């Protein structure tokens, strides 16, 4: 099914959207990749959803991506007396390493890594920053603090430490078990939560290997300090603005979003913008105008994909939310300022021959008004290199890999098609013409631009460019 837009839509599956009928409705409304959030739901639930998506894929005859999002080491309070209580601004409180049903003098915070890393003067943010306390003193098993912003706290509320590098793996034992389960199912992408350093990415890569694409979620300011290395070691990036917006000032998030999108375009890695994009549609059939502008901004920035979270997982209007996001993307991409705004953040020319060939293919396709760029790709790299320029010419990616075909459902402006291995130049020419016609990307006497790596079967060797006129 060809989408007549360039940016892709990722939708989170949850109680509101897990039935086969609803998954089909969401796909028809515009979903390109489904996200399975392993912070919620049981493995049996995720297995049923995975099977339903694969059945839908067979029914519609085109690839559908599946993203497994691991929970990560979420830092939370322990249990409190009565389930919670209110602390007031100026009040002094005490956090303890061990204990349960704590009161103001012994609020359980069962995370030794915090006690090792925190120093006097630092802030602890509770419940996404709704409550804030400043550390005034500490010992091996207790943290003294003064409440700077009061409010209600309750059992298991999250705690953030802006600017603090914690000695903690991004993969808990639960994550490792969930990862093994997801890889056995056959997910296409795995998202690592709370990545802080390049070594975190290497740890994930050691477990995932090449069985799925590795996506890093940028939620910690420490990751921004090493973002070049983190992007280089990953396969894709999610700008997870929820936790990131707690850890850094909210006014810094828009600029960081633009920086991350551009850095991923430079590296030819897909980038998703996520969190609260159409949040009011959890309970309302239409978004706010600010939310529509937020989605449009990500599209003007050149993001590969935008994501729905609670809107599609638990909201009252999941199909309407997807359809709205689809309409916003289409209308934004059709706006007269869109080409110039996307071009303004275009990465500079890459000096490597493979990037230069792919960039030339995009420029040539626009110059001759080609109907499509046909990219033969083993790993997805050739298609990604072609997409980084954000040409108005659609990309038809031909790959023998079922996994790569599904992973390309995240890539800007690209539709992927499974194809047999190509062994000769003549076969490539014939196959490109045939598939462009079959999938409605070209008609007789129109031009297509074909980009590939020769010899065939070697990943990443983009080195050949050909213009074809469809017979």
Q: Which residues are catalytic?
A: 35, 76, 217, 275
Parallel, antiparallel, or unpaired: how do β-strands 131-138 and 142-149 relate?
antiparallel
CA–CA distance, 139 with 224 (Å, rounded to integer): 30
Task: Return phi, psi of residue 9, to 5°.
Answer: -120, 130
Which residues in 345-385 belong to E strands, given as ranges?
372-376
- CB within 8 Å of 68: residues ≥ 6 apart: 36, 38, 46, 178, 179, 182, 187, 189, 190, 191, 212
Query: Kind and range of the H or E element at 172?
Result: none
Write down the H helix ranges in 237-280.
241-247, 253-267
Q: Would you tell me the crossing angle of helices 43-60 and 173-185 to the nearest 10 degrees?
A: 30
Which DSSP state fits 39?
T
For tokens 């804030």, the residue is 132
Query: Kind and range of the H or E element at 209?
Result: none
Query: Radius of gyration over alpha carbons of the chain, in Å?
Result: 24
CA–CA distance, 464 with 453 (Å, rounded to integer): 6
Give the other-Cβ count within 10 Å of 412's Cβ.
Answer: 26
Is residue 371 within 8 Å of residue 446, measured between CB atoms?
yes
CA–CA distance, 113 with 309 (Å, rounded to integer): 29
Between CA 401 and CA 412, with CA 407 as vertex, the angle to 5 degrees is: 125
């Amino acid at each position: 099914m060809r989408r007549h837009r360039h940016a892709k839509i990722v939708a989170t599956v949850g109680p509101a959207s897990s039935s086969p009928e609803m998954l089909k409705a969401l796909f028809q409304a515009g979903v390109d990749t489904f996200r399975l959030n392993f912070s919620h739901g049981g493995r049996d639930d995720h297995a049923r959803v995975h099977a339903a998506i694969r059945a839908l894929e067979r029914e519609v005859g085109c690839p559908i991506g599946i993203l497994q999002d691991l929970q990560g080491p979420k830092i939370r309070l322990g249990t409190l007396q009565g389930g919670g209580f209110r602390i007031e601004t100026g009040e002094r409180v005490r956090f303890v390493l061990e204990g349960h049903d704590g009161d103001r003098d012994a609020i359980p915070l069962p995370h030794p890594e915090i006690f090792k890393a925190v120093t006097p003067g630092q802030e602890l943010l509770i419940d996404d920053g709704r409550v804030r306390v400043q550390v005034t003193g500490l010992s091996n098993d207790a943290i003294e603090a003064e409440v700077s912003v009061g409010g209600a706290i309750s059992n298991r509320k999250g705690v953030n430490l802006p600017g603090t590098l914690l000695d903690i793996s991004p993969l808990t034992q639960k994550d490792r078990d969930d990862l093994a389960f997801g890889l056995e199912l056959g997910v296409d992408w795995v998202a690592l939560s709370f990545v802080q350093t390049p070594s975190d990415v290497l740890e994930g890569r050691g477990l995932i290997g090449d069985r799925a694409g590795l996506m890093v979620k940028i939620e910690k300011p420490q990751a921004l300090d090493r973002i070049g290395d983190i992007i280089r070691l990953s396969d894709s990036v999610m700008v997870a603005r929820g936790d990131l917006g707690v850890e850094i000032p909210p006014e810094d998030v828009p600029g960081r979003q633009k920086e991350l999108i551009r850095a991923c375009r430079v590296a030819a890695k897909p980038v998703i913008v996520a969190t609260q994009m159409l949040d009011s549609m959890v309970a309302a059939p239409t978004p706010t105008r600010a939310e529509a502008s937020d989605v449009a901004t990500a599209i003007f920035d050149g993001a590969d994909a935008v994501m729905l979270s609670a809107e599609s997982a638990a909201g009252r209007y999941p199909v309407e939310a997807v359809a709205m996001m689809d309409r916003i993307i289409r209308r934004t991409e059709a706006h007269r300022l869109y080409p110039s705004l996307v071009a303004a953040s275009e990465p500079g020319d890459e000096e490597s021959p493979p990037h230069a060939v792919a960039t030339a293919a995009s420029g040539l396709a626009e110059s001759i008004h080609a109907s499509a760029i046909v990219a033969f790709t083993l790993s997805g790299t050739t298609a990604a290199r072609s997409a980084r320029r954000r040409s108005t010419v659609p990309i038809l990616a031909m790959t023998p890999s079922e996994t790569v075909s599904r992973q390309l459902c995240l890539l800007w402006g690209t539709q992927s098609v499974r194809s047999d291995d190509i062994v000769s130049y003549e076969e490539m020419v014939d196959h490109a013409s045939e598939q462009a016609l079959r999938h409605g990307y070209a008609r007789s006497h129109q031009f297509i631009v074909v980009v590939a790596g020769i010899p065939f079967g070697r990943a990443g060797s983009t080195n050949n460019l050909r213009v074809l006129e469809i017979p």
